[in-house]
Amino acid sequence: MGKRAQVLIIFIWILIILAILAVGIAYRASVMLKFARYQKDRQIALALAKAGISRATAELRRDNNNYDCLTESWADSEEIFKKIMLNDNKDEFAAVSYMAEVEGKQEIKFGVVDEEKKININRASQQLLVALLEDCNINSAQELARNILIWRGKIINDAAYESLGYPPKKKDFTNTEELMLVKDITPQDYQKLKGMITVYTGGPLNINTVSGRVLKILGYGLAKEQGLSESFAARVVDEIIALRTARGCFTDKNQINITTTGAEELNIFNRIMENLVVKSNNFSIEASGRAGKIEYRVFAIYSRSGKRILYWHEN
């Protein structure tokens, strides 16, 4: 009887051990299946995000007229960019979108962003940088503008950076995030500036896509360069924006004119005109790919004239 009991106990322990092993194997298999499913969805989401970038560049290439404005399909089209699908699975799709300020509120738009609507910090004069910093309520604008020029090598003063432990670059900015390496510019300052700055353009602004705020900053910078009151620039910019609102879009710079005849305002107007274009070459594209619960984002800068990607970042 005792031997039978011992055998039974041993048998029960064997069953318990086998059960524990089975549970462990099942759990491990479940984890591996979840990981494999995650990796599969991640790769699908990445592929979808890349497809979104390709869809956006194709739309830009298709737009071959001599001007660019915000009423065109590349700038805002839910039909084209809100849900890009490569198969019949409704849980797998890509979207191309950006946040835009509309009447003081942030609003999602489906399309790409014209980089020519922004101020190029590699081309901006000291006065334009001061106007930009002041508009963003960043303290010590004069000193910070000078620090930016030292970083770019336009002003030689290595001693200004000695306290940071590294020298100024003495070259153009590679990307806008590099601005945070400039002496005394904080991440908080950069957050205020980043929506209005770029490093990917030749300098002139697209009059059809630039905001009234950025155009006014340009006017203020040009007024500072000539020792004129910013009020002259404000009146000129208000007229240009009013004309743009009435027309909807300029197809040629010759369509831009002002009614004021004051010498100061005409001077600023002519200088602004030198810094305007109606056709853009560089665009930023942010595409997201979604597969199940996984989302993958790709950000790219595309040169339409060069037909190539200038910058690529995956997240």
- 263-274 vs 212-225: helix crossing angle, rounded to 10: 120
- Between 160 and 220, name the one with better pLDDT: 220
Q: What is the arithmetic mean of pLDDT over 283-302?
A: 96
Residue span(s) of the chain under CATH 3.30.1300.30 come to: 1-118+281-315
The tokens for 275 are 């810094």
- DSSP class of residue 285? E
- Single pTM value for the model: 0.86
CA angle at residue 36 from 32 to 37, to 5 degrees? 115
pLDDT one-digit tens code per residue, 195-229: 999 999 999 999 999 999 999 999 999 999 999 99
- 230-247 vs 212-225: helix crossing angle, rounded to 10: 150
Q: If phi over 0 gives left and psi between -120 and 50 gives alpha, with beta otherwise, what is residue 271? A: alpha
4-13, 46-55, 102-111: the lowest-pLDDT one: 4-13
Which class in CATH covers the domain with range 1-118+281-315? alpha beta
- DSSP class of residue 255? G
Q: Are strands 276-277 and 105-109 parallel, antiparallel or unpaired?
A: unpaired
pLDDT one-digit tens code per residue, 227-250: 999 999 999 999 999 999 999 899
Q: What is d(CA 124, CA 204) in angstroms, rounded to the nearest whole number?
A: 10
pLDDT one-digit tens code per residue, 43-102: 999 999 999 999 999 999 999 899 999 999 999 999 999 999 988 898 999 999 998 877
The tokens for 141 are 């604008």
Q: Are strands 282-291 and 276-277 parallel, antiparallel or unpaired?
A: unpaired
Q: Are strands 205-206 and 276-277 parallel, antiparallel or unpaired?
A: parallel
Which residues, including other chains, have CB under 8 Å from residue 223's CB and lie 6 or more apart?
Answer: 229, 230, 232, 233, 268
